[in-house]
Structure 1
Amino acid sequence: MAPIGEGGTREPIEGVTITVSQDGKEIGSATSGKDGKWQIPVPHAGTYQVTLDVKTLPNTVQLQTAGKETLKGLVVQPGFSKVALFPLVKQGQGTGATGGGGGSGQLEYLISIFITGLRFGLIIAMTAVGLSLIFGTTRLINFAHGELVTLGAVVAFAFGTSPLQWPFVIAIVLAVIAVAALSGLLEFALWRPLRKRGSGLIQMFIISIGLSLLLRNGIQFFFGPDRQQFQQATAQTQLTWGPFSATPMDLITIVVSIAILVGVAVMLQRTRMGKAMRALADNRDLAEASGINVDRVILQVWVIGGALAAVGGILFGLTSAVSFDMGFRLLLLMFAGIILGGLGSAYGAMLGSIVVGLVAQYSTVWFPPELQNAWAMLVLVVVLLVRPQGILGRLQRAG
């Protein structure tokens, strides 16, 4: 609790009462300390409501926005803390909408949402790039891609926890290798024979749906229906630099995601393999006529796509929780990012996914978190109405 004083200085407020509730039931309460901070433990992950008792505020302080003493729809993830900010101003500075000096608290909140949205968008981008490359080279809409995301997190969790408890870095490497190998095996043993037999894209799409159901139920059978938390991601502490605050895992996720996505972009632009992938995506017949080994390039795409899905799944599990359907829950957002950025464009998938992640998170500022995916879909519809080919897509003539 720290309103903005003269010259933008913060003045901590002690003795302000905060209450946390869920579904009308009080979970706990706390009083701000000398530093203006407070903390209330919650029993489990979920959506909570935080209320400030305005009667406990000093007479010289008021809420920046009248009637905003309750914050609704705050989603708490397993092992993580959730920041709840109540913008306060000196008495008489509030306008009922925005206060004269209280914009800093709102700015901190919006910045925290941006960091969360960027992290979420980069995770979606990581998983969507592989899916976009597969579509670009084979025209297959792989509905089972979400299960590769789940497998990455589940395998890393299995290797990194008891009874194995291998070093976490080794668990991550093994999980990525395992999922990449499985993805390549599916291409070699399933999708390539289907293409050789002349199976249509609709039939292959339906097969991918069946494969998705098979893998998801298999994961549920072995992993169980409950959400699990990586031991390495528990009890995260918020790091603060001025108006910026984030957990160490947020920063690791953002840095690793950006590094890998930049690496993928460099690979596509500068390496022989990447150029072959782009050539195949542009014109399969011309690529084959120019001497490119189409089957080998497609196999490479599936292996890389599986590896990216595994890394994205591990990062998603570290920043939320591991569950048997986590990849399936991301699948719609992957498709949204790919279509928004432009079908078949890996760079478009990156950009579109980041936009989807930011919109989904920023929508929670004004609307219930349960609707965040719906707002991401709305942005997709609006963009396609204005630019049907997507942000980085190219118009093509049908027929």
Structure 2
Amino acid sequence: MITMAITAVLLLVGLGTTPAFATTTPPPTAAAACATSDTTGCLQGTIKLPSGDPAVGIKLEIKGGDLDTVATTGSDGKWSQAITVAGPYTINLDTSSIPDGAVLDSAAKNPATVNGALKKNVGFVFKIVGGTTADDGTTTQTPTTDVSTGVSFERFLQQLVSGIRLGLLLALAAVGLSLIFGTTGLSNFAHGEQVTLGGLLAYLFANVLGLNLILAAVISVAICAATGYFQDAAIWKPLRRRGLGTTQLMIVTIGLSIALQYAFQYFLGASTVRIDMANPVTVQLGPVALSQQSLVSMAIAIVVIALVGFVLVKTRIGRATRAVSDNPSLAAASGIDVDRIIRLVWTSATALAGLSGVLLGLVLNGVNWQTGLQLLLLMFAAITLGGLGTAFGALAGAMIIGLVVELTNLVLPGDFKYATALVILILVLLVRPQGIFGRRERIG
């Protein structure tokens, strides 16, 4: 779907007794800030100790364009380097500047390549972890354990807000998936790839083509909406007219999902890419810490979801959509153009999924070819829990799944939290098979 934390270690200097005639080296000052302009861009980053304190004196060799220099972290742990030529730059962290007791993470890329751009700040993440120094002077990475165990009120609030954030962004995609099922009866397994497409398009427009981030997001969502329109026109409507059953159509969506995943991997690679190359700015709200991207993304999600709810409840198109979802045959008999409504649902659903991908890419600080696939099961869990085919049920289900996934992390490490969400789904359906907002149906 992804973030590497920028960390390193404090360089120990001045150990031992300094002779009276020796000149002591003054401690490094804060690194001079790099200012961007029409002819200048900036490579930058912040390197910290595993404890979170700023690292000082870490050396990074930077090559590319007309540049061959060494940047050093200042007293604030930050480094920056101005560039005048856009293009790829190689950043090599000097591991000899890392003192005993720490080591560069074995999973970190070193040297790393970043795409520098004019008029932009481009950051990169190096991860330094604790290490063990042997008698021969070599340092090896200390096996790490999940230190995020233990429940406190502050951590509970942090995970609660993170759950609300995940639920809102998941709801954007789940509402569209639920509407598609409600109007067509189709379980679209390729819906996750629309999420991936939105994030990857935002990366291409914002970083490869250099467009403004807001403009890049708008264009990405518009293209995702267009893919939904043409999907229905070229694939789903012709197949519906031929009378294919929902099982056959579902198999087609599985094939489409696999094809899109490998198309993304072929053209953009398997690595995680960042939509916003600037270092995230953290906002502290009492005991809760969130990035500015998270706050903006949550606000956008709330506004868009409220707008979707207003359209469904208060407009003719919304009432027609709900009528088609309830009974397509009766809706057609009452004069509603069912095919037109389904086309509109496909267009809207893929637009919402694309927007979800853009916002998730910003919140998670990265997106890759499998981002949507990793969320697909949670989307299906949300719409099943809320009630198949109901937009408001998808919203409620997504919020519950988001909260369960994040709060479970208080007691369970790693990705066990995703399995817990599915356990909750099973338990709820045992009590209420139709979901929260679903209606009971007679069978037989």
Q: Work out whether the TM-score is over 0.5.
A: yes
Match of 1:165 among 192, 197, 210: 210
Whole-angstrom distance in 2 between the partners of 1:213 and 1:238:
37
1:362 alignment counterpart: 407
Q: Distance in 2 between matches of 1:369 and 1:129?
A: 27
Letter in 2 for 1:73: D
Structure 1 partner of 2:356 = 312
Question: Does structure 2 retain, via aligned residues, the 8 Å contact 1:47–1:73?
Answer: no
Q: Which runs of 4+ in 1 moved over 2 A?
A: 27-33, 38-50, 71-74, 241-245
1:42 deviates by 7.8
**Structure 2 length as normaliser, TM-score?**
0.68
1:73 aligns with one of 122, 127, 146: 146
* Alpha-carbon separation, structure 2, partners of 1:241 and 1:230: 25
Q: Distance in 1 between matches of 2:258 and 2:149?
A: 42
Once the two structures are TM-superposed, the CA of residue 112 in structure 1 deviates from its matched residue by 0.9
Is the radius of gyration larger for structure 1 or structure 2?
Answer: 2
Distance 2:418 2:127 in 1: 16
Q: 1:197 to 1:46 in 2, by over 3 A?
A: farther
1:257 aligns with 2:301: yes
Q: 1: CA distance between counterparts of 2:399 and 2:213?
A: 27
**Structure 2 vs 1, CA of residues 261 and 204 (structure 1 numbering), >3 Å: closer, same or farther?**
same
Q: Deviation digits for residues 244-267 of structure 1, max 9, x if unmatched? A: 322111111111111111110001
Judged with a 3 Å threshold, the aligned counterparts in structure 2 of structure 1 residues 41 and 159 are, in CA distance, closer, same or farther, namely farther
**Which of 160, 164, 178 is the equivalent residue of 1:132?**
178
Deviation at residue 229 of structure 1 after TM alignment: 1.4
Letter in 1 for 2:280: Q
Match of 2:314 in 1: 270
- Give the Cα–Cα distance (whole angstroms) in 1 for the partners of residues 383 and 127 of structure 2: 29
**CA distance in structure 1 between the partners assigned to 2:382 and 2:296 by the alignment:** 22
Letter in 1 for 2:401: V
SS at match of 1:148: helix
Q: Residues 329 and 29 from structure 1, CA distance in 2 versus in 1: closer, same or farther, beyond 3 angstroms? A: closer
Partner of 2:437, secondary structure, is: coil
Cα offset for 1:169? 1.1
Alpha-carbon distance in 2 for matches of 1:197, 1:165: 45
Aligned to 1:245: 289
- Within a 5 Å distance, the mapping from 1:166-185 to structure 2 comes to 166-185=211-230
Deviations 1:123-171 (A, max 9, x none): 1111010000000000001111111111111111101113x10111111
Deviation at 1:73, TM superposition (A): 2.5
Q: Write the distance in 2 (CA, Å) between the matches of 1:144 and 1:31.
A: 41
CA distance in 2, matches of 1:309, 1:31: 36
SS class of match (2:312): helix
Which residue is 1:393 aligned to? 438
Maintained 8 Å contact 1:116/1:250: no
Consecutive unaligned residues of structure 1, counting only runs of 5 or more, are 1-26, 51-70, 75-83, 87-104
Q: Is contact 1:363-1:369 (8 Å) kept?
A: no
Q: For residue 419 of structure 2, what is the aligned residue in structure 1?
A: 374
Q: CA deviation at 1:231?
A: 2.5
> How many Å apart are 1:205 and its aligned residue?
0.5
- Structure 2 residue matching 1:231: 3-state secondary structure: coil
Counterpart of 1:333 in structure 2 is 378
> Could you tell me how far apart the structure 2 residues matched to 1:300 and 1:325 are?
27
Deviations 1:256-292 (A, max 9, x none): 1111111100010011111100000001111000000
Q: 1: distance between equivalents of 2:210 and 2:420?
A: 40
SS in 1 for 2:146: strand
Per the TM alignment, residue 31 of structure 1 is displaced from its structure 2 partner at its CA by 8.1
Deviation of residue 360 (structure 1)? 0.6
What letter matches 1:191 in structure 2?
W
Separation in structure 1 between the aligned mates of residue 419 and residue 403 of structure 2, nearest angstrom? 13
Find out whether 1:221 has 2:266 as its counterpart. Answer: yes
Match of 2:389 among 344, 355, 361: 344
Whether 2:330 is the aligned partner of 1:286: answer: yes
Q: CA contact under 8 A between 1:49 and 1:73: conserved in structure 2?
A: no
CA contact (8 A) 2:149 2:411 kept: no
Conserved? CA contact 1:49–1:72, under 8 Å: no
Secondary structure of 1:208's counterpart equals helix
Distance 2:310 2:328 in 1: 22
2:432 maps to a residue whose letter is R
Look up the match of 1:55: none
Q: 1:325 to 1:32 in 2, by over 3 A?
A: closer
Task: Report the identity percentage.
Answer: 39
Cα separation, partners in 2 of 1:215 and 1:240, compared to 1, 3 Å: same
On the 8 A contact 1:85/1:106 being kept in 2, the answer is no
Letter in 2 for 1:153: G
The whole-number CA distance in structure 1 between the counterparts of 2:163 and 2:390 is 22
Distance 1:235 1:47, change over 3 A: closer
Aligned equivalent of 1:231? 276
Distance (Å, rounded) in 2 between the aligned partners of 1:111 and 1:49: 27
CA change 1:29–1:136 in 2 (3 A) is closer
Report the alpha carbon displacement of residue 32 of structure 1 after superposing the two structures with TM.
6.9
Separation of aligned partners in 1, 2:259 and 2:353: 18
Q: Report what 1:298 is aligned to.
A: 342
Counterpart in 1 of 2:112? none
| Partner Cα separation in structure 1 for residue 401 and residue 149 of structure 2 | 25
Distance, in Å, in 1 between the alignment partners of 2:279 and 2:214 is 19
Contact 1:187 1:302 in 2 (8 A): yes
How many angstroms does 1:238 deviate by? Answer: 2.4
- Report the equivalent of 1:17: none
Equivalent residues of 1:28, 1:41 under 8 A apart? no
Q: Which amino acid aligns with 1:250?
A: S
